[in-house]
């Protein structure tokens, strides 16, 4: 997508969650995670590339010892509908015997997060918890529920705060919905 197309999408989009609301949600999630994991020395795994913004804002607010790594798995790539799960990068850190907190931008259909949790458990994680900035209300059940949720979003095509629209606008501090979708 060229910059002009990206700017047009943003100009026509509906604001769903402001930057201020986003920041408050991250603070609340950080407090919930701290209450649950402060003594666990967890391994925190960010799911690239969507989790970059959320993880970057969340980690400095987790004032307890933890290890950090990342993984890269996707069902979307640069398309808008989910496909087959592709593991691009596995975590370098061993998960066996660890409490693992998986951090991602959005729990959409839940298929990707469910597969990540399943794989980490198979690798011997003692507990797998999940934190998402956004949980999309898709109107049906999901194979996994996030343990920590920043905001709930309507079932629309959303972008910003780590979520992209055709590769653009992950860097926005707020969440928008594409007009008409």
Structural domains of the chain in order of their starting residue, each with its CATH number:
3-177 (3.40.50.2020)
- Work out the percent of the chain whose per-residue pLDDT is above 90: 87
| pLDDT of 62 above 90 | yes
**What confidence score (pLDDT) does residue 76 get?**
56
Residue-wise pLDDT for 83-95, tens only, equals: 678 889 999 999 9
Q: What is the pLDDT of residue 82?
A: 54
List active site positions: 108
pLDDT digits (tens, 9 = 90+) for 137-177: 999 999 999 999 999 999 999 999 999 999 999 999 999 99
Q: How many CA atoms lie within 13 A of 14 on its CB side?
A: 11
Average pLDDT score, the chain: 93
């Amino acid at each position: 997508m060229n910059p002009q197309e990206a700017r047009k999408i943003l100009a026509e989009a509906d604001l769903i969650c402001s930057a201020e609301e986003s920041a408050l949600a991250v603070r609340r999630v950080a407090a919930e995670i701290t209450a649950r994991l402060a003594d666990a020395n967890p391994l925190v795994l960010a799911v690239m590339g969507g989790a970059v913004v959320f993880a970057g804002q969340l980690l400095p607010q987790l004032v307890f010892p933890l290890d950090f790594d990342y993984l890269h798995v996707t069902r979307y790539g640069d398309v808008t509908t989910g496909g087959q799960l592709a593991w691009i990068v596995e975590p370098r850190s061993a998960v066996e015997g660890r409490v693992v907190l998986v951090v991602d931008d959005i729990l959409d259909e839940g298929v990707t997060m469910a597969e990540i949790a399943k794989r980490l458990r198979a690798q011997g994680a003692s507990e797998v918890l999940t934190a998402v900035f956004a949980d999309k209300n898709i109107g049906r059940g999901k194979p996994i529920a996030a343990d920590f949720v920043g905001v709930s979003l309507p079932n629309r095509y959303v972008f910003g705060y780590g979520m992209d629209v055709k590769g653009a606008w992950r860097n926005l501090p707020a969440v928008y919905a594409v007009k008409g979708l």
